[in-house]
Structures are given as C-alpha cells and as structure tokens.
Structure 1
C-alpha cells in the first residue's frame, strides 16, 4: 500500500458503458463515482484530507478537486464546513457535484483553472481573503521523468510545469484570509520547490514526511502553512505506511478508514 494506490476499498461497482466506477473510501463512509481510467482518486487524497486543519464554520476550498475525494473526505470528518470544490475539467466537476449530492454533503462546485487570474477567481466568488482553509494536491510529477500520457486529462492532473506549484500557491495565498491555513501534498524529492513557493506570504510551515516503510526514503510530503505565519519550520516524525513485513500500519489503516486525523490537522 502506498500513496500512489488508486483504490481505497474492495467494494467497487463498475459501469462499463459509461466508463465510470463507484468506489468506497473512508471505510465505506464515502462513495465516489470516478472515471474507470485516467486520473483516479487514491491514498494521496485521503491523507491530504486527514492533514487538513479545518474546523466547523470554516470556508474550505479544495483546489484541483477532481471528483471531490479530498474535499468531501474533509467534510465527512469535520461537520459544518462551507466546502468549495474547484476543478478545471467540466466532466470531473460534474462527477464531484454528483458525489457531493450522493453523500448528502453540501458543496459548491466551480469549474475554474487554478492558474487563472484574480478576475476569474473574483467572478467565481473566490475573491481575496475569502477562505479560511485551502487544500490542494497539485500535479507534481517531473515532466523530465514522466512518460507522457495520451489522455490529456490524466496528463494535466499528474504532470507539473515549471509554474504549477508557484501558481497554485499564489492562488491559495490570494484567497486565504490572514492566518488562513494551506494544506498540500507533493512528492518528497520536491521539498525545496515547496519551501521556495511558500517563502512568499506563508510561514509556520509544518512538514510530515510519508515513507512506504522504515527502510525506504520518503515518497511524499504533507505540508501545512499559515498565511502570514511567523513560527519556525517544523518537521514532524515520519508517517510510515507499512511495517517492514509489508503489512499496512494499523494507524494508517484507521486514517484511511476515516477514524482519525494526522498531526497537521490539529490547530
């Protein structure tokens, strides 16, 4: 098991004609319809949700939400948030809208390019200082080491450009209120890129490295930062997904089943 895993639950119904599957997340607490091929929600989204420091009453914006996995998982854990799902692809946005309804979760779904300008965000109701929390799982694969996919949607969802991270962090900074919280997930070998992107406008950075097991280098980093924060950067003890034997850690299984949260989620 690792963050790249694409299925959260053995319970899955396929709709071959429509190319859609229905998958169980959070131990069956969340049912999501998503494309059978291409970009699919997996463990990254659920770990990001478990690291998001949301509270009841917060306006929480999920940038690049796909079918809504991370944002809806946050809403399932923290009742009473005002959830906004932002997705560039209209088909995925429609699935996100349907998934919110199926799971009886109130969410506004906006079709918007995260790297669009301030005017586009204003027109969508996401003006400056309008969000308490932003979470995001930007495309983070290095194009020089990633084989291009013939599926344009999948390619856009996975591969970063030179401006991807900086553009997404800039969008988050613009819409967050002062002292607002940003949660993101990125590949571990890109930690320098993350720190550089956060250097303008963010502080109080906390980093949680994610390892497949105790013998392997980190494969992901979960990051929390505060707009205008001034506290020193803090590195948390590593999250180990598996025992040395390959058996998933019990605590990780509980997180993926929606029975807890990660340290970054605590405010």
Structure 2
C-alpha cells in the first residue's frame, strides 16, 4: 500500500531568502518560528539543535542568518521530518534530520548522535496550548503541534538541558500568560535569563514571550523592552517587518 500523497504549499520566508514546503492544512509555520530564529544566539561552528522542528522553518532561518553552523532538526512526525529534509536540501543548507520524540529518553538521543553535553545551542517552540482551555484541532498533526500537557514544557526543557554543553544557550517561545511555567522549568540548571515580551498590538497585553537561558548561568534576569508586531491594529511595526524579512535580529540573538 502506497503512502498517501501530502498536500503542500511552497511559501517564502525571510523576504524570499527561504522557500519552504509545508502542509496545506494542519499546523503551519508563521511569525512564531521566524521570531524564535531571530532571537537565537549562535556562532559559526556551533552545533545547533531545533527541537520539534516541524518542516524546519526556525532552524533553517537560523542557518540562513549564521553561516557555518552544524544544524540538527529533530521532529517526531516522519512526514514533517521528510519535508524538513527536503526544505534543507532545496535551500542548500546542510542539516542532520532526526526523527525522534523530544520527550524520548537519554539513550534514544545518544543513539541519534545527541548525547549529553553535545550541543552548543538549542531552540524550541514547544506545544503550548492547555487542552482544558483550548479546543483541540481535529487535525491530529495540528493537535500534536499545539496541545501541551502539564509536563510538556518541563520535559522539553529537561531534554534541552541534557544535550546542551555547560554554558550552552536555550531559546524558546511560549505563551505570555504561561511565564510562571517557563520560569519554573528553567529554574533547574539554567540562569542568566533574558526575556522579551511580544505583543500583537500596542496597548494590548503580550501574547508571547521569547526567553533565552544559559545552562549554568548565574547573571541576573533581564527583561527587554516589549516587541510590538503592530503599532496599532492593521499597522505593522517597521522593525518587525525587517526581522521577518531576515534583515534584522532580536536583542536575545547577541551571544
């Protein structure tokens, strides 16, 4: 029996610097992935792991901005992983593709070449919606991509901590109203937090936070001035447009 044919679209990211295929329906990458990439601090030569990579948008965007990184894309869904691999090839970006659950045990990660203390930088966009408060999508892949359990964030951060080298950096994006969960998860083994609130519109509460943390870091927590996606409803912020076009990065991206 042949595999079902995936319906995909090809979409431009970073102002056309990346052309990526993604599923026509279900979870589709957008601003969150690009902002996560723009907040990720890495240097040429770093081993960078994108956990829960989907079709690879965030990790590939980091590779586009910072040449010479050793990129690993990790994704549980084999179909999405196949698209991520194809996207890396189509954009001439070298990347290793690992089909694995982010919550898998240490032995499984080591077998995939991601043993303890083996990575310089981790980025992640974990499932973040509480199924009690948000109705799950009938699309299975979309549900997996967005729905979290009470332990999802803690387990993803634990995985990041395990594979990161000492002083390695983890960058994540999460719901702004879940900031207490983020701080709790990062309280075990991380420090030197840098937090950037993200607002859809000026004058409205933040709906996302970008957070960078250092394994073993001891510097005080810093909170940056908020990022407004729109200066007012329907009026995109010029700085954000530069970031989405791949011509600028966020303060958290400075190593």
TM-score class, shorter-chain normalisation, is: over 0.9
| Structure 2 Cα separation of the partners of residues 114 and 206 of structure 1 | 23
Between stretches 72-81 and 239-248, larger displacement belongs to 239-248
- Listed as ranges, the matches of 1:52-201 within 5 Å are 52-201=40-189
Unpaired segments of 5 or more residues in structure 2?
Answer: none
- Please give the per-residue CA displacement for 1:23-73, whole angstroms capped at 9, x wherever unaligned: 000000000000000011100000000000011000000000000000000
| Structure 2 Cα separation of the partners of residues 245 and 46 of structure 1 | 21
Q: Aligned-pair RMSD on alpha carbons? A: 0.8
| Structure 2 Cα separation of the partners of residues 189 and 148 of structure 1 | 19
Q: 2:192 aligns with which of 185, 204, 221?
A: 204
| Structure 2 Cα separation of the partners of residues 207 and 223 of structure 1 | 5
| Structure 2 Cα separation of the partners of residues 112 and 173 of structure 1 | 17
- Please give the per-residue CA displacement for 1:138-157, whole angstroms capped at 9, x wherever unaligned: 00011111112221111110
Provide runs of 4+ in structure 1 moved above 3 Å.
none
| Structure 2 Cα separation of the partners of residues 96 and 243 of structure 1 | 33
TM normalised by structure 2 equals 0.97
1:251 pairs with 2:255 = no
SS in 2 for 1:241: strand
SS in 2 for 1:150: coil
Q: 1:168 to 1:18 in 2, by over 3 A?
A: closer
| Structure 2 Cα separation of the partners of residues 230 and 86 of structure 1 | 29
Partner in structure 2 of residue 215 of structure 1: 203
Q: 1:30 aligns with which of 9, 15, 18?
A: 18
1:18 CA drift (Å):
3.9
Unpaired segments of 5 or more residues in structure 1?
Answer: 1-16
1:245 CA drift (Å):
4.8
